[in-house]
Amino acid sequence: MTLPMFDIVAAIVRRTLNGRPFDMPDRQHIHHRLLDRGWNPWQVLCLLGALCLTMGAAATAATIFRLDALAWIAAMFVGRVDDPPAAVRP
């Protein structure tokens, strides 16, 4: 649930800073930005699904091994999904 919550919070903050209503639609969500960069829907689905699985695994591992830093590192990685490295760009 980290990725959808991050996307929603980012959209609300972005719209508030731009003076637009928070419920006004736009194409700045993570999946729209990846599609606009040339990714096809299947690639976007696989990437976002993999990120959600990674965050779930990191949260589970952080809970089991009591490593809060692991959860924070994974969350910071997910925050970079808007600008993937050149190696993973289509």
15-61: pLDDT as tens digits: 999 999 988 899 999 999 999 999 999 999 999 999 888 888 888 88
Task: Look at the pTM and tell me if it is higher than 0.85.
Answer: no
Whole-angstrom Cα distance, residue 39 to residue 89? Answer: 8
- Asked whether residue 87 carries a pLDDT value surpassing 50, the answer given is no
DSSP 86: G
Whole-angstrom Cα distance, residue 49 to residue 44? Answer: 8
- Tokens of residue 22, six digits: 């928070």
> 58 near 74, Cβ under 8 Å?
yes
